[in-house]
Chain A
Amino acid sequence: SYELTQPPSVSVSPGQTARITCSADALPNQYTYWYQQRPGQAPVLLIYKDSGRPSGVPERISASRSGTTVTLTISGVQAEDEADYYCQSTDRSGASVVFGGGTKLTVL
């Protein structure tokens, strides 16, 4: 089955840059999306179609793709960024939606 792999955790100090990767054996020619889930809350769309930012998402949050890895970058990390982050795509057939396992971002 198609899987997206994320590191379980990433830790950074305030003001630093956090990078969260999402990789697959072979990323299909499908877009990747990113979601932020703060403790006790529902997820929120952060990035759409590989690198688009919905209105309200700050410019210090960005994403990029290189080969079979997509990377979410959060610059100038703040305490409020502490959350779980999930990447998401679809399998090659497009019939199944897949999430990565999630990455817990800790702000030290």
Chain B
Amino acid sequence: EVQVVESGGGLVQPGGSLRLSCAASKFTFSNYWMHWVRQAPGKGLVWVSRLNSDGTTTNYADSVKGRFTISRDNAKNTLYLQMNSLRVEDTAVYYCVEGPMDSFDIWGQGTMVTVSS
């Protein structure tokens, strides 16, 4: 079964850093755009960032630009999200998603990030 599995979430203090990982399996990871989408507790979906198949094109939501960095290692079938200068409002479930450039096909189960002192 095609799947993506996130890891790396946890509790971090405001101003801290965290790196999320997403392991992909059963599809040709290197052929696809990958995204991060987040969902604050009880709130809606918010797109965070995307990266093209060879890692040369990135886009970010304004709310994370300059603080978050998306990257990938196609040899390891893994997507990353480096999150720096974390804020309380970054608290959310972070989903790794495979898809075309502008939509979302395969979703992981998410990893929870809590930013709190």
Contact = CB atoms under 8 A, between A and B. Distances in A.
Interface stretch (B20-28, B72-80, B102-110): B102-110
B31 interface: no
Contacts of A33: 103-104
A42 interface: yes
Q: How large is the interface on A (under 10, 10 to 19, 20 to 34, 35 or more residues)?
A: 20 to 34
B94 to A, nearest CB: 11
A88 B45 CA distance: 10
30 contacts: A30-B102, A31-B102, A37-B45, A42-B108, A42-B109, A43-B45, A43-B107, A45-B103, A45-B104, A45-B105, A48-B103, A54-B105, A84-B44, A86-B44, A86-B45, A88-B47, A94-B101, A94-B102, A96-B47, A96-B59, A96-B62, A97-B35, A97-B47, A97-B50, A97-B102, A98-B47, A99-B46, A99-B47, A101-B44, A102-B44
Interface of B: 35, 44-47, 50, 59, 61-62, 95, 101-105, 107-110
Sorted nearest first, the 6 A-B pairs with minimum C-beta distance are: A97-B47, A102-B44, A42-B107, A99-B45, A33-B103, A90-B102
